[in-house]
Structure 1
Amino acid sequence: MNYTIKYGGKEQPVLILLHGTGGNESSLLDVGKDLMSDATLIGIRGEVLEQGQSRFFSRVSDGVYDEVDLEMRANDLHRFISELLQKSQLTTQEIVLVGYSNGANIAIKLLLNYPDKYQRAVLFHPMYPIDVLEDHDLSQTELFVTLGTQDSIVPIEESQRVLTLFRRFHANILSEWTLTHQLTYLEVEKAKKWLHRIIKQNEHE
């Protein structure tokens, strides 16, 4: 997988940056720096190409995921992240997933599949139109999620579905409603305040 890494302060969190459709490993570097200036930033490029645009997993059609491919790609992504953290000597730092759109969608799969590995995430405008039948314990998971009331890509009922999914599994969620699918300065600032509060809270536990 193509990736970029910007090392931060020793023992500072590692932000795993997962771009939206058409992005690349550098797309969220500025967002990551805004969220936590002293964190280590790892941007990863999705390996699926759809009409020339990079994604993290395949779709059957708009709003319909290829669930077999999603499972495979999420497991591959987890292995890549684990090996990269080991190689980069970053295994002791706290990991925070930061995903936008398609990147937020595969981040949800990582949170569900590996709740002991990924317990902090910032999800900008996710959609997860999948019936999750098995139970998951996400009671140790802390999430900041933004959703759009007039999102042209994610219908409002799908945004509600994401929140319902995480509440069903007892995740700790702070949700913020914006207007459209576009990532805005204001929601990044709110995510920053949330992230710094969560990290500080963990330091005192």
Structure 2
Amino acid sequence: MVRRAHDLADFIDATRKEYGISAPIALGYSNGANIAAAMMLLRPQALGGAVLLRAMAPLAKPPRADLAGKSILLLSGQHDPIVPPGNVEGLAKTLAASGARVAGRVLPVGHQLSQLDVNLAREWLSGSIGAEGQSRHAAAQV
């Protein structure tokens, strides 16, 4: 997980430099969300924020990252057989303790994605990006 998170962050950093683009907002589901969460903690400059769908804490001993100014949406499933509720809560606390504005919701689903995920992610993303491409999402619960 750590090696792959650094590999992906290297790719994003190189791409941003080559094309002169701002830090992207990751949208990840399951292991994709875990990689995005690991990148937020290990290489916070690589991403501008994240939508994490069915993520779990990706690192046993997460480093203290500087996530000030970054917004993260964390959507979990109430009946998820893969991701225990305490694990999701721990991830949310770790991200918030690192300075991120974390909005989260437990949905009445399992590990699978639902239309509610799509609707909430779309709503959050449309509220999180201003005309200049800068994050403007408030730290409110969805």
Q: Which TM-score bucket, shorter chain as reference?
A: 0.7 to 0.9
Which whole-Å CA distance do the structure 2 matches of 1:100 and 1:142 have between them?
17
Which whole-Å CA distance do the structure 2 matches of 1:76 and 1:93 have between them?
18
Moved over 6 A (4+): none
Counterpart in the other structure of 2:12: 81
Counterpart in the other structure of 1:100: 29
Which whole-Å CA distance do the structure 2 matches of 1:170 and 1:99 have between them?
20
Q: Does 1:118 align with 2:47?
A: yes
Q: Does 1:180 align with 2:98?
A: no
Which whole-Å CA distance do the structure 1 matches of 2:88 and 2:122 have between them?
21
Which whole-Å CA distance do the structure 1 matches of 2:128 and 2:24 have between them?
12
Q: Does 1:156 align with 2:85?
A: yes
Query: 3-state SS of the aligned residue for 1:176?
Result: strand
Counterpart in the other structure of 2:139: none
Counterpart in the other structure of 2:3: 72
CA RMSD of aligned residues (A): 2.2
Distance verdict in 2 for CA 1:142–1:169, change over 3 Å: same
Distance verdict in 2 for CA 1:203–1:71, change over 3 Å: closer
TM-score, normalised to structure 1, is 0.59
Q: Give the deviation of 1:78 after TM superposition.
A: 1.4
Q: Which has the higher helix share?
A: 2
Counterpart in the other structure of 1:147: 76
Which whole-Å CA distance do the structure 2 matches of 1:200 and 1:110 have between them?
23
Distance verdict in 2 for CA 1:83–1:135, change over 3 Å: closer
Counterpart in the other structure of 2:140: none
Summarize the alignment of residues 2-81 of structure 1 with structure 2, pairs less than 5 Å apart: 70-81=1-12
Q: Which has the higher strand share?
A: 1
| Pairs aligned (count) | 134
Percent of matched pairs sharing the same residue: 29
Q: Give the deviation of 1:184 after TM superposition.
A: 0.9
Distance verdict in 2 for CA 1:74–1:155, change over 3 Å: same
Distance verdict in 2 for CA 1:174–1:77, change over 3 Å: same
Query: 3-state SS of the aligned residue for 1:195?
Result: helix
Does the 8 Å CA contact 1:78/1:110 hold for their aligned counterparts? yes
Counterpart in the other structure of 2:128: 198
Q: Which amino acid aligns with 2:122?
A: K
Task: List alignment gaps of at least 5 residues for structure 2.
Answer: 137-142
Distance verdict in 2 for CA 1:133–1:196, change over 3 Å: closer
Q: Give the deviation of 1:173 after TM superposition.
A: 1.0
Query: 3-state SS of the aligned residue for 2:46?
Result: coil
